[in-house]
């Protein structure tokens, strides 16, 4: 066989490539893709990790020394003795069968109800909740709701886990004499009737309500009643991670707070200024923004409407999913970004004839490019693009930028004609428009005479209040404190009365979405209590407010109906019709878009006095610290949600932690690498926290995620990460300047999944420029022949480097025709993923986890590479390949793997979802010794769990590394749960998975039984020793097949159902369907020139295909690559004859014509004169 390392047609013409561990080099855009700094440096540790078929530690039962092994074994023996006690046996329970089926309930059939999920800070998502025999199991986006349009966020998908969280507050309790005892709602009602009656005479003086922000009309009605009864009481809305800069910026520009509503589907040019609109960071419009942006970049044709592609400029301090999708990205320190916006405003004013006021305002920024160290072209080219697309362009600003920058962006949008086309403004309800920082400062400044009783609803100020207010001490000094919350938290722990709150799926309510859509929040299940301990179910905020007011009608259903009856102001008969229609549709017809109103003219007088702050802000010294809500946990309210904790960050791919993010240059200056601890000092306060180096982050900048380091939470969230609120002062909204950082002495182990399951040295990401697609997208090389004379048609993506499809022989089966799978009968299922539209948000991962009963494994197991996600989202950085790159640790100095210089300052970023490919020639199937994984007649690679014996040969043979193995009982034992003899052995066992399974707390026992209620009854719960993977949601396929038959359909119609990942994806990057249906959307995707098979040259024929990514560069900032094909493209040369490389003669066509094993044995036997 040949030892050549390249295509025979390029021998002597093109140098052989040196083996590399990188994810591929693209001649189309001149970039190399890499996962992280260790890979770019090709450290020995990284190479060793890649060369293992499983991540290091994944196969080991224990880590550490012999002493560790003996310690664990001794503890296990002690537990074995304890287990012999008869009292530890599971008691018998009798069950009673149904004697009468509930009405409208068919066992095995899902029922969907429409409701709405209130969002932190106000707004809502319209959702459909799937229910089985009365219990909600899955959340989907409401296709009729204007915000969701069938899609959903990670918070909506994960909300079902919060409903069944065993660590939810169960029943009221009271703190007396330093001890907390259980109480009842009846006891609290008696207390409240006496206590709050005292405020009638004082008109409410001394009574304060600190409430989470909400856009509920019914709560607003209750607030009005409350203030009417107690006019001197204080009502303070508060959100720890509020976007106050945007509110203040709107006040400066328009004289009143306004909510910005984007219509990015209309935008041809978008300038994103430190704003991550595709993944949200807590924005209530994230779904609609991501959907609109994707619609403007969905390029499927080379002419017409579907050939157009918007252009995105990102100016930001830290790499974000939005910045990763940008066509041009400029990295600046947070304090300098305002200067760029000012310079852009000046350039726009020069090009707009009627923008005299804006020009006079922005003239002072004419020297900004020199101060920023950037070329003038970065200002002029962007300004020209905005003006050339006037009415179809927009400038958006993120929460970390000060209010004057937001106000200046409003002025730019008015000048370029964006208002009414790509951006609109909506009036804000009173609570949503309130200042959270002013609310918490007002509360902290109150004296004892001014504050007698504090009622906290939903908020957690003891944990999240600004550090300089010493709020925990202030809270403890208040005479009476009442807290209503869903979970145990720091404020609940310190409150006099701790009241358990009902989940939004357990109680009635209402809410208004960002665009004005009004919805009724209807319960899916009765409030959950726990009968063995007589624990009472929770109550909602409407019930609590009615109780405190002494209202006769405290039923939240009646409260909401009364509010809507008054609001709709119609006859009783008409009201009932609209009420029923609202419950059915999930929103009130005719309310979408009603919040939009005329924002008025820009107040240049107020803006002129505000922009001075921009210039002074730009001269900040020291390290700048950015505080932002976590992508997953928000402000910390989702800290006990295991799905969200284990979901990797979309950029860093870190889970179960919130390390301080710093640039590689800053890391080198401090002498630290990933996991090293640093001490950050801001305003006299300090925090010890590990670091994580992020390429693309501005130097001398630290990014801190909020929401971690909880001291009072459930078993999942307790002690996870670091409390970064401890550094934030009351005068800091999102950005603190003048900080310092020094290297600490300790290290912290961080779980990062990006280097797990790597596909070493293979072309993964394919991308090109939009201009190349327009020029060559329709070209198909029908007459192309490989080196052996076989026809091999090539489309656009097939010819893109580093895809080696042009230089590999045509794929031929090694099987005889009678042995081959034909897959000619419908349906034949397949999936397509558009890399140009995927933002890497991770909603698909959580949706898959909720649908398929995928367990969480915990941080220790993730570090060992044992995460169980069926669909992972890989992240790659990309830098030009022609720049010098260090390849040894000596090039990095003592700071460890660091590749400084321009190559890491401004990398591009790409993301790729990777599920099971359901290969037609699946390598996993041929190595399974027990036929546990086989191929179905509809093209699915199927798993039979009760056959699997756990050899892991299939995972070893999978080139995509998408199979997951249950090393322990992740799905049947409670994470962080108790086990028999825990008190006996103390802390001897640090890894609970090492405890014998029969001794561990099962999820169906005690309070943990709530988790069982979340499981999808149509999906098997896997046990230890079993391999699992993506099934293309086969349970949904079967359900659709049954429904189609009942409806008399010959085949399952296209779009009749969706896979979980497809249904949740906000950007519609995932398409699924029957590839043999000529009218299906999936068929159109597969026939598109951008489609390519990932590792298709392996001849495994994956059913999941990808659309190559496109970028739309501005030729003034980067020359577009119009001809992306390398010099050895088949259109430019013909392959040489195979005789030039005789070792290649033993090719697949020869094997195809070979006799079968039986024929060969018969032939040999005949020659020997015998029988086979």
Read off the pLDDT of each residue in 721-747 and give the average, rounded to a whole number: 92
In a domain, residue 1040? The reply is no
> Which residues, 6+ apart, have CB-to-CB distance to 963 below 8 Å?
916, 924, 954, 955, 1027, 1028, 1029
Is pLDDT above 90 for 942?
A: yes
Among 585, 601, 628, give the residue marking a domain's end: 585
Read off the pLDDT of each residue in 799-823 and give the average, rounded to a whole number: 72
Question: Pick the residue with more confidence: 1168 or 1101?
Answer: 1101
Express as a percent the part of the chain with pLDDT over 70. Answer: 81
The pLDDT assigned to 1080 comes to 95
Separation between Cα atoms, residue 699 and residue 889, nearest integer Å: 22
- CATH assignment at residue 287: 3.40.228.10
Among 426, 441, 468, give the residue marking a domain's end: 426
In a domain, residue 278? The reply is yes
Strand partners, 209: 235, 455
Read off the pLDDT of each residue in 1051-1076 and give the average, rounded to a whole number: 95
- Give the HSE-up count for residue 681: Cα atoms under 13 Å, Cβ half-sphere: 7
pLDDT in tens, 135-169: 899 999 999 999 999 999 999 999 999 999 988 89
Domain hosting 188: range is 173-241+432-585
Helix axes 541-549, 556-568, angle to 10 degrees: 90
> Which residues, 6+ apart, have CB-to-CB distance to 635 below 8 Å?
120, 239, 240, 241, 282, 464, 629, 706, 707
Read off the pLDDT of each residue in 792-815 and give the average, rounded to a whole number: 75
For the ranges 72-86, 221-235, 798-812, 987-1001, the lowest mean pLDDT is seen at 72-86
CA of 758: how far to CAs of 47, 55, 97, 889, 1018, in Å?
Answer: 11, 9, 50, 22, 32
Separation between Cα atoms, residue 802 and residue 25, nearest integer Å: 6
* Helix/strand/coil for 679: strand
Same domain? 359 vs 447: no
Same domain? 458 vs 570: yes
Is pLDDT above 90 for 2?
A: no
Answer for the pair 703, 601: CB distance below 8 angstroms, yes or no. no
In a domain, residue 450? The reply is yes
The pair phi, psi for residue 1135, each rounded to 5°, is: -65, 145
The pLDDT assigned to 79 comes to 47
Answer for the pair 317, 620: CB distance below 8 angstroms, yes or no. no
In a domain, residue 573? The reply is yes
Separation between Cα atoms, residue 330 and residue 395, nearest integer Å: 15
* Helix/strand/coil for 426: strand
The pLDDT assigned to 86 comes to 34
The pLDDT assigned to 92 comes to 39
Is pLDDT above 70 for 641?
A: yes
The pLDDT assigned to 899 comes to 31
pLDDT in tens, 598-615: 777 888 888 888 888 887
Question: Pick the residue with more confidence: 201 or 755?
Answer: 201
Same domain? 390 vs 437: no
Same domain? 440 vs 418: no
Same domain? 184 vs 332: no
Return the beta strands (E) in 357-488 as ranges. Answer: 393-397, 423-427, 453-457, 480-485
In a domain, residue 233? The reply is yes
Read off the pLDDT of each residue in 503-515 and give the average, rounded to a whole number: 93
Express as a percent the part of the chain with pLDDT over 90. Answer: 60
> Which residues, 6+ apart, have CB-to-CB distance to 389 below 8 Å?
268, 269
- Dihedral (Cα; 887, 892, 893, 895), 10-degree rounding: -130
For the ranges 237-251, 766-780, 795-809, the lowest mean pLDDT is seen at 795-809
For the ranges 43-57, 718-732, 795-809, 1031-1045, the lowest mean pLDDT is seen at 43-57
Read off the pLDDT of each residue in 299-320 and give the average, rounded to a whole number: 93
- Dihedral (Cα; 759, 751, 700, 45), 10-degree rounding: -50
The pLDDT assigned to 351 comes to 87
Same domain? 410 vs 439: no
Q: What angle do CA 169, 172, 175 make, to 5 degrees?
A: 110
* Helix/strand/coil for 1073: strand
The whole-chain average pLDDT of the chain stands at: 84
Same domain? 274 vs 409: yes
Read off the pLDDT of each residue in 909-934 and give the average, rounded to a whole number: 93
In a domain, residue 496? The reply is yes
CA of 1141: how far to CAs of 3, 222, 788, 1113, in Å?
Answer: 9, 84, 11, 41
pLDDT in tens, 874-891: 998 887 765 444 433 333
Question: Pick the residue with more confidence: 856 or 806?
Answer: 856
Same domain? 337 vs 200: no
The pLDDT assigned to 49 comes to 58
Same domain? 203 vs 343: no
What proportions of the chain, in percent to the nearest 5, are helix, strand and coil?
A: 35, 20, 50
In a domain, residue 210? The reply is yes
- CATH assignment at residue 473: 3.40.50.740
Among 567, 585, 603, give the residue marking a domain's end: 585
Read off the pLDDT of each residue in 1063-1087 and give the average, rounded to a whole number: 95
pLDDT band at 80 (very low <50, low <70, confident <90, very high): very low
User: Which element (helix H / strand E) includes 983?
Assistant: helix 982-985
pLDDT in tens, 241-300: 999 999 999 999 998 889 899 999 999 999 999 999 998 766 788 999 999 999 999 999
Strand partners, 661: 692, 703
Chain-centre distance for alpha carbon 620: 33
CA of 1040: how far to CAs of 773, 935, 1037, 1044, 1061, in Å?
Answer: 37, 20, 5, 6, 17
The pLDDT assigned to 12 comes to 53
Determine if the pTM surpasses 0.85. Answer: yes
Same domain? 420 vs 438: no
Same domain? 568 vs 438: yes
Separation between Cα atoms, residue 795 and residue 775, nearest integer Å: 13
Same domain? 262 vs 207: no
- Looking at the structure of the chain, the number of domains it has is 2
In a domain, residue 1114? The reply is no
CA 317, 885, 326, 284 torsion: positive or negative? negative
For the ranges 42-46, 123-127, 584-588, 1148-1152, the lowest mean pLDDT is seen at 1148-1152
């Amino acid at each position: 066989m040949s030892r050549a390392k390249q295509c025979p047609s390029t021998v002597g013409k093109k140098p052989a490539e040196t083996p590399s561990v990188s994810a591929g080099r693209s001649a189309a855009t001149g970039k190399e893709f890499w996962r992280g700094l260790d890979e770019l440096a090709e450290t020995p540790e990284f190479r060793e990790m890649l060369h293992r078929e499983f991540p290091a530690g994944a196969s080991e039962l224990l880590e550490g020394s012999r002493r560790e092994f003996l310690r664990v074994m001794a503890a296990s023996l002690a537990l074995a003795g304890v287990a012999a006690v008869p009292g530890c046996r599971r008691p018998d329970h009798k069950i009673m069968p149904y004697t009468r089926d509930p009405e409208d309930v068919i066992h095995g059939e899902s029922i969907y109800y429409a409701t709405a999920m209130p969002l932190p800070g106000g707004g809502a998502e319209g959702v459909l909740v799937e229910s089985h025999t009365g219990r909600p199991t899955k959340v989907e986006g409401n296709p009729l709701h204007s915000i969701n349009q069938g899609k959903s966020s990670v918070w909506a998908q994960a909300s079902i886990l919060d409903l069944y969280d065993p660590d939810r507050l169960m029943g009221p309790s009271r703190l007396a004499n330093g001890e907390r005892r259980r109480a009842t709602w009846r006891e609290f009602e008696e207390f409240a009737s006496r206590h709050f009656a005292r405020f009638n005479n004082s008109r409410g003086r001394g009574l304060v309500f600190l409430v989470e922000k909400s856009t509920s009309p019914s709560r607003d009605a209750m607030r009005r009643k409350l203030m009417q009864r107690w006019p001197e009481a204080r009502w303070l809305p508060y959100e720890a991670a509020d976007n106050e800069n945007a509110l203040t910026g709107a006040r400066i520009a328009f004289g009143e707070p306004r909510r910005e509503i984007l219509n990015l589907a209309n935008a041809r040019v978008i300038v994103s200024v430190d704003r991550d609109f595709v993944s949200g960071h807590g924005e209530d419009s994230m779904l609609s923004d991501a959907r609109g942006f994707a619609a403007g970049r969905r390029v499927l044709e080379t002419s017409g409407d579907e050939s157009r592609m918007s252009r995105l400029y990102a100016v930001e301090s830290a790499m974000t999913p939005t910045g990763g999708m940008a066509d041009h990205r400029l990295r600046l320190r947070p304090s300098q970004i305002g200067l760029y916006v000012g310079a852009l405003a000046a350039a726009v004013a020069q090009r707009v004839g009627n923008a005299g006021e804006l020009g006079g305002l922005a003239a002072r920024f004419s020297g900004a490019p020199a101060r920023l160290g950037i070329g003038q072209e970065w200002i002029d080219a962007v300004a020209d693009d905005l003006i050339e697309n006037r009415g179809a362009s927009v400038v958006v600003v993120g929460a970390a930028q000060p209010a004057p920058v937001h106000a200046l962006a409003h002025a730019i949008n008015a000048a370029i004609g964006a208002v009414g086309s790509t951006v609109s403004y909506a009036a804000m309800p009173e609570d949503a428009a309130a200042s959270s920082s002013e609310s918490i400062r007002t509360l902290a400044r109150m004296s004892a005479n001014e504050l007698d009783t504090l009622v906290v609803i939903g908020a957690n100020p003891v944990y999240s209040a600004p550090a300089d207010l010493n709020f925990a001490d202030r809270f403890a000094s208040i005479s009476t404190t009442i807290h209503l919350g869903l979970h145990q938290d720091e404020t609940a722990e310190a409150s006099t009365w701790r009241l358990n709150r009902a989940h939004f799926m357990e109680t009635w309510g209402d809410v208004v979405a960002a665009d004005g859509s009004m919805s009724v929040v209807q319960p899916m299940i009765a409030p959950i209590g726990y009968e063995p301990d007589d624990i009472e179910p929770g109550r909602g905020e409407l019930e609590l407010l009615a109780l405190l007011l002494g209202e006769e009608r405290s039923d939240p259903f009646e409260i909401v109906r009364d509010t809507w009856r008054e609001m709709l102001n119609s006859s009783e008969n008409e009201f009932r019709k609209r009420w029923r229609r609202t419950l059915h549709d999930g929103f009130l017809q005719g309310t979408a878009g009603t919040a939009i109103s005329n924002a008025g003219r820009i107040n240049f007088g107020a803006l002129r006095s505000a922009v001075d702050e921009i210039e002074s802000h730009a001269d900040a010294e020291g390290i700048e610290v950015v505080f932002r809500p976590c992508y997953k946990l928000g402000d910390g309210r989702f800290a006990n949600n295991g799905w969200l904790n284990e979901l990797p960050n979309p950029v860093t791919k870190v889970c179960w932690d919130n390390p301080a993010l710093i640039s590689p240059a800053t890391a080198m200056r401090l002498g630290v690498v990933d996991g090293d601890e640093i001490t950050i000092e801001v305003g006299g306060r300090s925090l010890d926290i590990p670091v994580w180096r992020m390429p693309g982050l501005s130097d001398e900048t630290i990014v801190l995620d909020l929401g971690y380091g909880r001291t009072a939470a459930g078993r999942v969230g307790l002690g996870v990460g670091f409390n970064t609120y401890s550094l934030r002062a009351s005068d800091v909204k999102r950005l603190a300047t003048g900080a310092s950082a020094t290297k600490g002495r300790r290290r912290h182990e961080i779980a990062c999944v990006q280097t797990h399951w790597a596909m070493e040295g293979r072309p993964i990401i394919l991308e090109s420029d939009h201009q190349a697609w327009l020029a060559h997208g329709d070209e198909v090389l029908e007459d192309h022949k490989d080196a052996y004379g076989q026809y091999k048609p090539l489309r656009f993506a097939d010819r893109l480097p580093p895809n080696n499809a042009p230089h590999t022989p045509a794929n031929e089966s090694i099987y005889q025709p009678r042995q081959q799978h034909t897959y000619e009968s419908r349906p034949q299922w397949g999936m397509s993923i558009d890399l140009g539209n995927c933002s890497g948000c991770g909603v698909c991962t959580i949706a898959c986890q909720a649908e398929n009963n995928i367990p969480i494994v915990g941080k220790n197991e993730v570090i060992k590479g044992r995460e169980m996600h069926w669909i992972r989202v890989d992240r790659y950085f990309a830098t030009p390949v022609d720049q010098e790159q260090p390849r040894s640790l000596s090039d990095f100095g003592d700071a460890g793997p660091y590749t400084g210089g321009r190559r890491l300052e401004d990398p591009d970023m790409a993301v790729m979802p990777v599920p099971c490919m359901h290969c037609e020639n699946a390598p996993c199937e041929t190595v399974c010794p027990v036929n546990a994984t086989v191929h179905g007649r509809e093209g699915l690679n199927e798993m039979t769990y009760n056959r699997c014996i756990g050899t892991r040969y299939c995972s070893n043979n999978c080139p995509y590394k998408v199979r997951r193995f249950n090393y322990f009982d992740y799905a049947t034992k409670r994470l962080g749960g108790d086990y028999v003899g825990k008190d006996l052995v103390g802390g001897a066992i640090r890894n609970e998975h090492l405890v014998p399974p029969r001794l561990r707390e099962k999820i169906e026992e005690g309070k943990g039984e709530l988790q069982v209620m979340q499981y999808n009854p149509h999906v098997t719960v896997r046990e230890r020793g079993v391999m699992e993977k993506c099934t293309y949601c086969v349970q949904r396929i079967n359900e659709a097949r049954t429904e189609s038959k009942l409806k008399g359909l010959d085949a399952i119609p296209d779009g009749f159902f969706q896979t979980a990942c497809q249904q949740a994806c906000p950007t519609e990057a995932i398409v699924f369907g029957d590839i043999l249906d000529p009218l299906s959307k999936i068929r159109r995707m597969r026939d598109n020139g951008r489609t390519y098979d990932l590792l298709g040259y392996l001849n495994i024929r994956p059913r999941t295909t990808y659309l190559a990514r496109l970028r739309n560069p501005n030729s003034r900032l980067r020359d577009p690559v119009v001809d992306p094909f390398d010099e050895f493209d088949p259109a430019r040369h013909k392959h040489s004859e195979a005789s030039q490389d005789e070792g290649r003669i033993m090719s697949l066509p020869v094997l195809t014509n070979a006799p079968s094993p039986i024929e060969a044995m018969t032939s040999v036997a005949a020659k020997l004169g015998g029988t086979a």
